[in-house]
Amino acid sequence: MKYSNRYADQIIKVIRVCKKLSENIYVTSHGGNLAWKLEENLILITPTRVNKGDIEAEDIVFISASGEKLEGRNLPTGETPMYLNIYRERPDIQSVIHCHPPYTGVFAINRGKNWLMHPVFPETVVEVGPVPVVPYAQPLTQKLADNFLPFLKKYNAFLMENHGLVIISSSDIERTMMLIELLEVTSVSIVHALSIGGIKELSREDVQDLDKVMAARKLPVLGAPGVNKSLIDLYFAG
């Protein structure tokens, strides 16, 4: 059976997410891409040079964990090296989205403080965590993919300097899209707060309380399993 038939339901979800990214103007032109690991050696990935608002089922590409194209009429996204690095370094991850939400993108080009590394809203702290800046490299290159390596174990969201956002998740592609929406709303609030006076952060004690909530609900700490012991590790270590 063809992968496109076996995973028809997942393709529908991917197309839904692609169109939502386009409608929200989180991607423009041919920008942005996404991937979903469906089996140990099977990744569903978006094609190169296709507007996300126009993607159809026939455009979806299936590749192996080494990047070999297994099925599809198009070539996979040029950012495939980034995805291969992510899936190799984070076997716990299922889905990845790279996009350019405008307010979150402010912190990819801002010379000042990266407020997305600081605890502001409880939901964002628990579900997304800090968002470090990955140093700039030319898009579509192995160099850019490799610049992620120092950050991949500790974090689940990344700003690509002068470029955009990448979010990874151990859940399906629709859950990852929800995390992008949550982060973008957070970024909107931060940018507006900075324009009228400043930011009031959550305290260390506030974040410790969120750790207790996560423990009570048996929620996993962000990052690769076992790397971070707590939210305090993520936000206040060092």
The CATH number of the domain holding residue 63 is: 3.40.225.10
Domain count, the chain: 1
**Residues 16-64 pLDDT 10s:** 999 999 999 999 999 999 999 999 999 999 999 999 999 999 999 999 9
| Banded model confidence at residue 237, pLDDT cuts 50, 70, 90 | confident
Q: Which residues contact 88 (CB under 8 A, 6 or more apart)?
A: 65
Looking at residue 150, its pLDDT comes to: 97
| CA nearest neighbour of 238 among 132, 146, 82 | 132
Place 93 in a pLDDT band, splitting at 50, 70 and 90. Answer: very high
Average pLDDT, the chain: 96
Does residue 8 contact residue 14 with C-beta atoms inside 8 Å? no
Asked whether the beta carbons of 165 and 108 are under 8 A apart, the reply is yes
Verdict on whether the full-model pTM lies above 0.85:
yes
Distance CA 219, CA 217 (A): 5
Mean pLDDT of all residues in 124-138 = 97
CA distance 192 to 199: 10
- Between 202 and 217, where is the model more confident? 202
Q: Can you give the residue range of the structural domain that contains 105?
A: 3-236
Reply yes or no on whether the pLDDT at 92 is more than 70.
Answer: yes
Q: Is the pLDDT of residue 130 over 70?
A: yes
Cα separation values, 78 from 5, 9, 64, 123, 159, Å:
25, 25, 15, 33, 18
Find the mean pLDDT for residues 109-122: 96
- pLDDT of res. 146: 96
What pLDDT sits at residue 219? 87
pLDDT of amino acid 238: 63
Q: Over range 159-182, report the average pLDDT.
A: 98
| pLDDT value at residue 21 | 98
Q: Is residue 43 within 8 Å of 17, Cβ to Cβ? A: no
